[in-house]
Amino acid sequence: MLLNLLPLFSTAFFYLLYYLISTFKFDVQIDASAIFYDFLLQLLISYILFALSKRAWIFLVIQALVMGILYVGNAVKISFFGGPIMPDDVFALRSLLLILEGWRFFAAAIPLAAIASLVLFNFTMRHWSAYLAILTAILLGITLTYKPVMILNPLDKRMGYSVWDQRSNYLLRGATFYSLQESARYFATVDKPPDTDDAQMAAENLLSAAPTPKPTAGSKPFTPRNVHIVLLESFWDPNELKNAHYKQNPLAPEFRKLWKNAGYSHALDPVFGGYTANSEFEVLCGFPVMKDTVKFERQLLNDVPCLPHLLADKGYRTVISHPNVPVFWNRVNAYRHMGFQTYWSIQDFVLDDMNREFLSDASLYRQVMEKISGSLDTKQPILDYIVTYFGHWNYPLSESRPGKISSRSKVEEVSSYANTIYYKSRELMGFLDQLRQRDPDGIIVAFGDHLPFLGENFAGYVDSGVLTANRSEFTPAMFKFYVSTPMIIIDGKNGPVKVGNIPLYQVPKLLLKLLNYNEPSIMDYVTTPPDMRVRPLPGLHFDLLKDGKVDVCKEPPYSEACQKSARWLQDVSVVSNDLFIGRQFTRPKHVAEEQIEAVPAEAAQPPAKVIVPE
């Protein structure tokens, strides 16, 4: 009898322990009103687990690990990224384990391996309660998967739901209830391919709403020029932290001069602190990421005429360089679907200048120049896309890169990040100088993929008053700040282009314009409504209006501008799903494709789409 009370006492103990850790270590405190129901649901899960366990002590170990992931794991993610663990994070787990090194890898992998092993080892069906437990678990799983609205609708009605403020959703429900509710929402709202009528209607809405281009006397023909895109990991201007009081400017003076000539332009990125692949998707495919998911993982299933595909059809050599493991964020498949012909990953580079596990930018740039020099010499047009690796948290440096910058801030990352930028900006300028001399007509794009992580709960930013610790308290200006990174676009001999604050998904269309590409493309669908630029984020979006005002669109009732941009985003979402996961009813016809279709079926050969090492 006393043994049957073990789950009650163990659940109470672990709940209290993890609640205190979450509150005092990570400043993530579940609301008192949520504790009772959250505890009851966790208690039910504990009794199911207990009924299927042979040994009580193993049950306790499993329970400690599971509840630790739920309550401490969520607190860690909230303190790092501002939001709790989402169902899509399960699919990102493999990539997380690939990037972790040393003790961090084991800290993440051991609990997961231990849970799986212990559950299998401790599993039993010897008692009637085990059959009841397994029946309950199966019924819950079936309902969650096939009839999620039966769970979701009552919970939303009872507890409410904020589409844009996941941190508050978590705090007002507790880890267990939140996980159940968001799992049901995941299955209820999963993206589905649209039918032909919906896709065509959305496409017509987008094309008809786009401003009519002004007629010009004889449009210029397509002019193939090399395109170099450099994605800079966590690249940002630390001088925005006024209370850091850096004694030396972290940014290279040459970079600041070039950036000034570009009008201090900024990219408006889709992510903060991580998920680099979403910034990649936008800058290569020209469509916005709107959800808290990694687009490369499960939302890029088709071969799509993204920028690499379009340029490959024009005779370009399309190459990607990233000194990381090739399967990270499903990049091998994603790059192939986008039209890259060659992918140079970690095994294709000499790891001769390392900052812990990260290849330095200087070495990466030097080796890329060596690899593309043949194309530059033979004048073969090339799309040269580089994703830097150095710059990841926790911003390690090598002995050859001693610290140069110090700060009064108590947040460790404020100083370590500034030293990282000191070297990143200088190594970038060395590369740009060399590239502009070697390829004076080439188009160059360099931008930061997201703001850096500077301490738990935005601590480094909070110290300077540029962000608050809780995203729900952000002002409109803070939302814009939250996703703004330096961007430089150089139009060959014409020099830097002043693009202002540009959503990253609008860059491919701009590059095609610089190349005088006048054919229809999927980028035509994402011309934003007149007099505004739209930046969607998970659960909300904001409009950057012509007068400089930032209009944040969270939940209806919307302002007039938000109504217009919300309708536009809905149509963009439909076309995006059609192109990337659907049957591509809205895919424009290109010259290369039309020529292929004109060849007799028995003689037609598919265009090369296979990424190969060199």
What's residue 119's pLDDT? 84
Q: Report the alpha-carbon distance of residue 312 to residue 376 in Å, rounded.
A: 16
pLDDT for 402 beyond 60: yes
The residues, ordered by sequence, that sit 6+ positions from 251 with a Cβ below 8 Å of its Cβ are: 237, 238, 239, 421, 422, 425
Total Cβ atoms within 10 A of residue 291: 18
- Distances in Å between the alpha carbon of 520 and those of 201, 204, 590? 18, 14, 7
Evaluate whether 401 touches 355 at the Cβ level (below 8 Å). Answer: yes
Residue whose C-alpha is closest to residue 330's, from 299, 368, 290, 361:
299
Distance CA 337, CA 557 (A): 39
Q: Which helix (H) or strand (E) holds 331?
A: helix 331-338
- Classify the C-alpha dihedral 501-92-300-162 as positive or negative: negative
Neighbour order of strands in the sheet with 443-448: 342-344, 317-321, 382-387, 227-232, 443-448, 484-491, 266-268, 501-503
H or E element: which one contains 342?
Answer: strand 342-344
Please calculate the CA angle 500-505-509 and round it to the nearest 5 degrees.
80
Average of per-residue pLDDT across 5-15: 95
In DSSP terms, 319 is beta-bridged to 342, 384
Query: CA 371, CA 345: separation in Å to the nearest integer?
Result: 13
Residue 330: phi and psi, rounded to 5, are 60, 35
234 φ, ψ (degrees, to nearest 5): 55, 35
pLDDT at residue 164, rounded to an integer: 78
* pLDDT band at residue 563 using 50, 70 and 90 as cut-offs: very high
Domains of the chain by range and CATH?
3-188 (no CATH), 225-589 (3.40.720.10)
The predicted model gives 461-488 an average pLDDT of: 94
Residue 431 to residue 366: CA distance in whole angstroms: 8
- CB–CB of 270/537 below 8 Å? yes
- Lowest mean pLDDT, pick from 110-114, 323-327, 446-450, 493-497: 110-114
Q: What is the 3-state secondary structure (H, E, C) of 396-407?
A: CCCCCCCCCCCC
Provide, rounded to the nearest whole percent, the portion of the chain with pLDDT above 90.
Answer: 73
What is 519-531 written as a DSSP string? S--GGGGG-PPTT
DSSP assignments along 139-199, one per residue = HHHHHHHH-THHHHHHHHHHH---SS-HHHHHHTT-HHHHHHHHHHHHHHS---PPPHHHH
pLDDT, residue 600, reads 37
pLDDT average, residue stretch 127-147: 91
pLDDT digits (tens, 9 = 90+) for 119-129: 888 888 888 88
Give me the residue label for tokens 């212990």.
118
pLDDT tens-digit series, residues 307-363: 999 999 999 999 999 999 888 888 999 999 999 999 999 999 999 999 999 999 999
End-to-end CA distance of the chain: give it in Å, rounded.
68
The one-character DSSP state at 483 is T
Position 579, amino acid: L
Statement: residue 592 has pLDDT above 60: no
Amino acid letter, residue 614:
E
How many whole angstroms separate alpha carbon 527 and alpha carbon 211? 8
For 247-283, what is each residue's pLDDT tens digit? Answer: 889 999 999 999 999 999 999 999 998 889 999 999 9
Respond yes or no on whether the N-terminal peptide bond of residue 394 is cis (omega within 30° of 0). Answer: yes
Specify the pLDDT at position 433.
96
Of 45-54, 75-84, 362-371, 405-414, minimum mean pLDDT range = 75-84
What's the rounded mean pLDDT across residues 61-78? 92
Handedness of CA 134, 139, 142, 143 (dihedral sign): negative
H or E element, residue 97: helix 89-99
The mean pLDDT of the chain is 90
pLDDT at 607 over 50: no
Residue 112 has what pLDDT? 80
Nearest to 59 by CA among 131, 101, 121, 149: 121
pTM assigned to the model: 0.85
- Residue range 540-553, pLDDT digits in tens: 999 999 888 999 99
- Three-class secondary structure of residue 303 per DSSP: coil
pLDDT digits (tens, 9 = 90+) for 367-394: 999 999 999 999 999 999 999 999 998 8
* Confidence category of residue 104, pLDDT binned at 50, 70, 90: low
How far from chain centre, in Å, is Cα 379? 35
Distance CA 310, CA 303 (A): 12
Residue 129: count of CB within 10 angstroms of its CB: 15
